[in-house]
């Protein structure tokens, strides 16, 4: 009885809806594949759709069918050949180009999804995959259809994930920028074709409409007049049946999901105007034919949408440009250094410790170490550093940078998803996948605004039907078209995407969506000391010549004694020496651990070391000026007769730190210094940089309490740090920025990352964030003001349908163009 009832319900449903519950395609007359959805029988077109729909419903994901805005792809059984191909992706060799290895068990794959048509598709895939045992996280970016899936290899294989995606009607492939570009080009070509048909039809129909509008004296004969109307009808058919199809599809998706979307009023307007014109043509009602308006506003709407898509693609180009930096092939040196003969090899097939040759002008395909050659690399797209960086033997190079001057022989250290470039792309994807509060509010408002608009259009029709029935329909069409809330939905996300792209080009990665929204509200900026405001390494701070006045001479002598040492003080001395200084030979070099060293330069003995060691060599009780640089490490240089110089070493402030602090104060921000270092070092740095509020010897718990106390006073805090001990306070702050050279834990906790450690970019980021908020406010005010002005004009009958379409398209374009101002290099 129950089975008979199900079949009977299903046949009754099909009689009303002749389309598949899952994919929306027509149901063959002989098909009998029912599914049970919320106590009602629904018909599907084939066994595949039945299986997929059952899987979705039984997995507890039935809400997908309520929220989707497009029909799913028709399900197809997984061919045996494809199943075998999917299983091949379990091999580590194939995974190298698109899978990042976090540790022995955890992997993260970058996948490209096909079949994504709306936000509900993203929701369904995320929910379905997250329920698989072993899947740790799933993030899908709707704009690029790129998915990042993390899983436990001991509980799940990559092929299981790919099969699970296929089981609900979608297809997943390893992310390939070229393949993605091909898909986007195909979509753009289809859009251009529709636009071309609409434009050609509009021009031809207007040629027939203009004589009719100008014939005030009725000089055109009635037969010829109706011939022009019939010609307009024929030329408008391709527009309605082909060019306007994207609007119908979107509306059909919305209606099947029991909701109204932004394309719903547009579709209603197009079809209403066309059907009414057809009725007037058949009834020979002369003043009710507006085929020219139909073709014109379809053309204007398509043109506006196309320009919007180009602008949005430009705004989100930061991630895509990074992905495309890596070349497909490299010159591999199999027998280096015995032979310099190279052969072409796929970059994805390179392994750690392989040797490659990168010629001048080529992009470096891997993270590696220079084994031979002297050149310069351009890392501007990755770090924002515009200067060429010298590269010589022993230096590291990063994938995506360009070798500019001479050939380099490089040993592969990291490849594919393990490179620094890949980690940057993952952070950008993470940020773009998050929806800031402003964007969510705008989309929520836009969704119910459409419903209100439809009710207003219906009320307008009824009102005009009693005032002037001949104009009622066209006034309603103008109301439907002119107030589409596209501009309202575009106002926030386009500006945020453009701002994130601009900051990425400067050298700041926005890794969480709320950062740009919160940054303009910050009143307090809290800095860590070591590695943030300072370099985090020993540097020569000062040199005090004693017996001679020539600073360079004593520095050269000290560097000569230290030139073969790997001690941090030796490296600091050598780094401070001018590059054009030649070091003389040093003989009889002797190192005394914990004290210093001695050697002969030009036959004369010299000593370099701790003050106590030098005093012992000279027979002194103590050195002159014993309190000089007391808070730093001091060493002395002497010969047989006398003390020659004192050298002070410490952690020096970054060259741009003082300028940054001054810029932040000029912006009205309060600056704090929070460090675990001793009182003397912290106080000295605070005084040097003019930071009024400081705290020394701060533990991670102290830092957390300090920031919490500021927040308890109602203040918004930006925290800037770099170390593991900064991770908790970075996570606690309202918005945080991690130094690019900091620890992995700190970078993971930061809302933004300063890739090239250029501190002055922080002040620039504050300005960009304020500009972003200002532009979002402009966009929202424009979108709201436009609707408040345009809607009354349309309701009162002062706007024709084609002018309404022009106004709607112009409104959206203005919002996008305003957001694109954030891409300008000057901030």
Residue 238 near residue 328 (C-beta atoms within 8 A): no
Whether residue 528 lies in the annotated active site: yes
How are beta strands 40-44 and 99-101 bridged, if at all? Answer: unpaired
Nearest to 532 by CA among 720, 671, 718: 720
Report CA dihedral (196, 202, 207, 208) to the nearest 10 degrees: 130
Classify residue 650 by burial, with Cβ atoms within 10 Å: 0-12, 13-18, 19+: buried
CA 321 to CA 325: how far, in whole Å? 7
Residues 257 and 199 sit within 8 Å (Cβ to Cβ) = no
Determine how many CB atoms are found less than 10 A away from the CB of residue 388.
Answer: 15
Can you tell me the distance from the alpha carbon of 351 to that of 374, in angstroms, rounded to the nearest whole number? 24
448 vs 812: CA distance, rounded Å: 19
Token digits for 75?
């399900």
Q: What is the rounded CA–CA span in Å between residue 167 and residue 48?
A: 9
Give the DSSP H/E element, type plus range, for residue 181: helix 177-214
Q: Assign residue 690 a region: left if phi > 0, alpha if psi is -120 to 50, beta otherwise?
A: left
Coil, strand or helix at 822: helix
3-state DSSP assignment of residue 733: coil
How many other C-beta atoms are found inside a 10 Å radius of the C-beta of residue 588?
10
Q: For residues 755 and 383, is the Cβ–Cβ distance under 8 A?
A: yes
Q: Where are the alpha helices (DSSP H) in 47-176?
A: 47-58, 64-67, 80-88, 92-95, 119-130, 158-167
**Rounded Cα gap, residues 20 and 541, in angstroms:** 76
Give the CA distances from residue 491 to residues 572, 775, 779, in Å, rounded to whole numbers and listed in that order. 52, 8, 5
Catalytic residue among 139, 254, 354, 528: 528
Cis peptide preceding 554, ω within 30 of 0: no
Six token digits for residue 192: 């251009």
- Return the residue matching tokens 């398209």: 809
Token digits of residue 422: 């890949």
d(CA 818, CA 776): 9
Distance CA 454, CA 266 (A): 10
Q: What is the CA radius of gyration of the chain?
A: 35
| Residues labelled catalytic | 528
């Amino acid at each position: 009885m129950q089975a008979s009832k199900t079949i009977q319900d299903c046949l009754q449903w099909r009689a009303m809806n002749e389309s598949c519950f899952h994919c929306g395609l027509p149901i063959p007359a002989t098909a009998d594949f029912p599914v049970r959805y919320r106590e009602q029988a629904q018909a599907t077109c084939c066994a595949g759709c039945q299986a997929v729909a059952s899987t979705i419903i039984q997995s507890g994901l039935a809400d997908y069918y309520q929220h989707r805005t497009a029909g799913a792809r028709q399900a197809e059984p997984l061919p045996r050949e494809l199943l075998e191909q999917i299983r091949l992706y379990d091999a580590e060799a194939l995974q190298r180009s698109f899978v990042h290895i976090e540790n022995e068990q955890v992997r993260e794959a970058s996948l490209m999804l096909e079949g994504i048509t709306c936000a509900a598709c993203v929701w369904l895939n995320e929910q379905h995959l997250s329920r698989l045992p072993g899947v740790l996280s799933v993030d899908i970016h709707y704009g690029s259809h790129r998915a990042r899936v993390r899983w436990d290899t001991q509980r799940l294989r990559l092929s299981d994930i790919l099969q699970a995606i296929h089981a609900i009607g979608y297809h997943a492939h390893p992310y390939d920028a070229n393949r993605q570009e091909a898909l986007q080009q195909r979509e753009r070509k289809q859009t251009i074709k529709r636009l071309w048909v609409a434009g050609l039809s509009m021009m031809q129909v207007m040629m027939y409409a203009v004589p009719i509008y100008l014939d005030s004296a009725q000089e055109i004969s009635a037969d010829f007049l109706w011939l022009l109307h019939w010609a307009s009808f024929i030329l408008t058919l391709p527009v309605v049946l082909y060019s306007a199809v994207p609007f119908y599809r979107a509306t059909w998706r919305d209606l099947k999901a029991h909701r109204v979307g932004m394309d719903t009023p547009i579709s209603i307007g197009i079809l209403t105007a066309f059907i009414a014109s057809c009725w007037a043509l058949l009834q020979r009602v002369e003043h009710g034919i507006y085929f020219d308006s139909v073709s014109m506003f379809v053309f204007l709407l398509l043109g506006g949408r196309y320009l919007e898509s180009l602008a949005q693609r430009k705004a989100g180009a930061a991630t895509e440009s990074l992905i495309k930096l890596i070349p497909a092939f490299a010159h591999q040196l199999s027998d280096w250094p015995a032979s310099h003969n190279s052969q072409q090899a796929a970059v994805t097939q390179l392994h750690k410790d392989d040797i490659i040759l990168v010629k001048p002008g080529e992009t470096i395909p891997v993270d590696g170490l220079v084994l031979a050659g002297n050149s310069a690399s351009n890392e501007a797209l990755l770090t924002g550093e515009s200067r060429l960086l010298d590269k010589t033997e022993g230096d590291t190079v990063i994938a995506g940078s360009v070798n500019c001057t001479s050939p380099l022989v490089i040993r592969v250290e990291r490849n594919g998803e393990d490179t620094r470039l890949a980690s940057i792309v993952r952070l950008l994807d993470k940020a773009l996948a998050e929806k800031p509060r402003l964007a969510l509010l705008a989309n929520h408002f836009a969704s119910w605004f459409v419903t209100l608009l439809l009710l207003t259009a219906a009320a307008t029709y009824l009102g005009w039907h009693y005032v002037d029935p001949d104009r009622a329909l066209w006034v309603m069409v103008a109301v439907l078209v002119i107030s589409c809330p596209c501009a309202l939905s575009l106002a926030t996300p386009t500006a945020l995407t453009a701002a994130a792209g601009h900051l990425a080009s400067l050298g700041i990665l926005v890794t969480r969506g709320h950062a740009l929204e919160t940054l303009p509200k910050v009143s307090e900026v809290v800095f860590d000391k070591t590695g943030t405001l300072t370099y985090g390494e020993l540097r020569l701070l000062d040199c005090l010549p004693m017996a001679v006045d020539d600073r360079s001479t004593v520095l050269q002598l000290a560097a000569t004694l230290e030139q073969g040492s790997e001690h941090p003080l030796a490296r600091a001395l050598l780094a401070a020496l001018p590059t054009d200084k030649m070091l003389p030979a040093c003989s009889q070099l002797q190192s005394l651990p914990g004290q210093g060293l001695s050697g002969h330069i030009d036959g004369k003995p010299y000593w370099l070391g701790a003050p106590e060691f030098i005093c012992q060599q000279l027979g002194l009780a103590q050195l002159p000026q014993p309190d000089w640089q007391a808070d730093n490490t001091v060493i002395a240089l002497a010969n047989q007769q006398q003390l020659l110089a004192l050298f002070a070493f410490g952690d020096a402030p970054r060259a741009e730190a003082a300028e940054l602090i001054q810029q932040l104060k000029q912006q009205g921000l309060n600056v704090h210094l929070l460090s675990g270092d001793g009182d003397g070092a912290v106080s000295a740095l605070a005084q040097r940089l003019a930071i009024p509020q400081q705290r020394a010897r701060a533990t991670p718990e102290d830092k957390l309490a300090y920031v919490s106390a500021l927040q308890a006073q109602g203040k918004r805090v930006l925290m800037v740090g770099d170390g593991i001990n900064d991770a908790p306070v970075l996570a606690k702050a309202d918005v945080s920025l991690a130094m690019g050279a900091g620890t992995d834990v700190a970078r993971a906790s930061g809302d933004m990352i300063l890739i090239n450690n250029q501190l002055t970019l922080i002040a620039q980021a504050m300005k960009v964030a304020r500009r972003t908020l200002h532009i979002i406010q402009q966009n929202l005010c424009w979108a709201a003001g436009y609707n408040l002005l345009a809607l009354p004009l349309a309701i009162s009958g002062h706007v024709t349908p084609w002018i309404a379409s022009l106004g709607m398209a112009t409104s959206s374009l203005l919002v996008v163009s305003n957001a694109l101002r954030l891409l300008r290099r000057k901030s």
